[in-house]
Amino acid sequence: MAHESIINLNQDNFEAEVLQSSVPVLVDFWAEWCGPCRMIGPVLDQMAGELGDSAKIGKVNVDHNQALAAKFGVRSIPLLLFFKDGEIKD
């Protein structure tokens, strides 16, 4: 079960929750059928519990949000992207 602070992201809320966020955001592109995605889930849950208000974690289900996956060039999952000030950071 995902930590309550993890945000389910979609086309409607991505800009507000990620691109306009005042804190850094770690975005997990995933799918329900993806074994490795399920394996990192508990790690993300733990991180979400430890981050508090200093950063956010969001998840994009690529099966339900294909336009977002295409926009960010998602070719394989899981894919974690770190956003700060509306931009992807290395």
Residue 90 lies in a domain: no
Given a cut of 80, whether residue 51 has pLDDT beyond it is yes
pTM here is: 0.94
- H or E element at residue 36: helix 35-51
**What sign has the CA pseudo-torsion 81, 47, 38, 58?**
negative
Residue 20 lies in a domain: yes
Total domain count for the chain? Answer: 1
76: domain CATH number is 3.40.30.10
Contact between residue 77 and residue 31 where contact means Cβ atoms under 8 Å apart: yes
In this prediction, what percent of the chain has a pLDDT beyond 90? 91
Residue 28 lies in a domain: yes
Residue 30 lies in a domain: yes
Q: Average of pLDDT values for 63-72?
A: 98
| pLDDT tens sequence across 53-65 | 999 999 999 999 9
* Total residues found in the chain within this entry: 90
Q: Give 90's contacts (C-beta < 8 A, 6+ positions apart).
A: 82
| pLDDT tens sequence across 12-30 | 999 999 999 999 999 999 9
Band of residue 1 on the pLDDT scale cut at 50, 70, 90: low
Give residue 34's domain range: 7-84
Residue whose structure tokens are 């977002």: 68
Residues with a known catalytic role: 34, 37
